[in-house]
Chain A
Amino acid sequence: MALINMKKREVQAKVVYYGPGRGGKTTNLEYIYRKFSNRIKTEMVTIKTHGDRTLFFDFLPLDIGQIAGFTVRMQLYTVPGQVKYDATRRLVLRGADGVVFVADSLAIRRKENLLSLKNLAEHLASYKRSIFSIPLVLQYNKRDLADQGIPLLPIDTLESDLNSKLKAPSFEASALAGPNVVQTMKKIISITLESLQKEFQS
């Protein structure tokens, strides 16, 4: 749920990076944090286990500048992807204005992608939101691993599994190396703000 402060002329909106465990959600935020470090005034907040798995969430506030006379602040979050952190995922999703679904392109993770997407839809429904109407971008991560001969799911398969009904914008990406990480972020910011604008105009 976005917050509009007419006194400060500021909009705050929440984007959550969702997806199966070890899929690259935190890596996306870490890349964004490094890339825009000169424009991000605060540290990225991470709450993780000793094994570097996200335990609660990662948080990165991004000031994206002025749009239509308003300062826009996007709060980027990731959820913990491991199955056992289901209750935590639901908590972090509260008030989300946009979602990036980071799918794992590894062939062995096909089932986990499907389960995670279903899980997202269920949690959104518990907040009376629909996965079909919330601003959503799909990212097919780890595409760079093809160069190392690791079996990946073809894009057609990922699209058919995850996007045949959603018809959301999608990007092939490599969160570790960078390709399409920023483009994914820009797209979700753009469609989230469009959605907010429509909401307030109505």
Chain B
Amino acid sequence: MNKQFKYEAAGQGSYVFHQEQLNAIEEILAKDLMGLGVHSVFLIDMAGNVVASKESGEVKHDIYSLAALAAGNFGAVSTMAKLIGEEEFSLLFHKGQKEHIHFSKVTGDFLLITIFGKEISLGFLRLKVAEAMEKLVRILGFEPKILRNNH
């Protein structure tokens, strides 16, 4: 099977995601997160681009604007952490009346954003997100590395 995966450090290059990788990513988002009853989940890069997304269909979100804002928000909060002497915050979560939003860093270049309601507890979601992230990291690779073609 011909596999090609290019991954470069943030700010230096671009990413190509092939069908196989995206299928694998989307399967994780669908089974591990949407399957819990999460309303939306999207995997984005730190520049605010959307890699993959899944939505329950109950509410339609503007995921491109959300991605831009999420990346900006995460970036701002990360910078604040460093200013107060923290390497990073272990939890970034916003609580709403009906919808909540959780951020999780997947390698240095990607973020997993989950939108969920009161049906799921934050603690349970964090557990499941951590499990999903382990699988995503295996697909996305560690930082930074370039894999060659396997013919």
Question: Which residues from chain A sit less than 8 Å from chain B, CB to CB?
Answer: 1-8, 12, 14, 42-43, 45, 56-57, 59, 61, 73, 75, 77, 87-88, 91-92, 94-97, 127-129, 196, 199-200
Q: A92 to B50, alpha carbons, bound, how many Å?
A: 16
Q: Which residues of B contact A7 (CB under 8 A)?
A: 17-19, 22-23
List the A residue with the shortest CB-CB distance to B65. Answer: A45
Q: Which residues of A contact B28 (CB under 8 A)?
A: none
Interface SS of chain A: helix, strand, loop or mixed?
Answer: mixed
| A199/B22 contact (C-beta < 8 A), A42-B64, A56-B76, A59-B68 known | no
Q: What is the number of contacts between chain A and chain B, taking CB atoms within 8 Å?
A: 105
Would B17 and A5 count as touching, CB distance under 8 A? Answer: yes
Would A95 and B62 count as touching, CB distance under 8 A? Answer: no
Would A1 and B76 count as touching, CB distance under 8 A? Answer: no
Q: Which residues of A contact B13 (CB under 8 A)?
A: 1, 199
Would B11 and A6 count as touching, CB distance under 8 A? Answer: no
Q: Which residues of A contact B50 (CB under 8 A)?
A: 3, 12
Question: Which residues from chain B sit less than 8 Å from chain A, CB to CB?
Answer: 8, 10-19, 22-23, 45-51, 62, 64-65, 68-69, 71-72, 75-76, 79
| A6/B79 contact (C-beta < 8 A), A59-B65, A59-B68, A91-B72 known | no
Distance (Å) between the CB of B123 and the closest chain A CB? 30
Q: A12 to B50, alpha carbons, bound, how many Å?
A: 8
Would B11 and A129 count as touching, CB distance under 8 A? Answer: yes
Would B18 and A1 count as touching, CB distance under 8 A? Answer: no
Offer 23 A-B interface pairs, CB within 8 angstroms, sorted by A: A1-B10, A1-B12, A1-B45, A1-B49, A2-B14, A4-B14, A4-B15, A7-B17, A7-B18, A7-B23, A12-B49, A14-B49, A42-B65, A56-B76, A59-B68, A77-B68, A87-B79, A92-B72, A94-B11, A94-B47, A127-B11, A129-B12, A199-B13
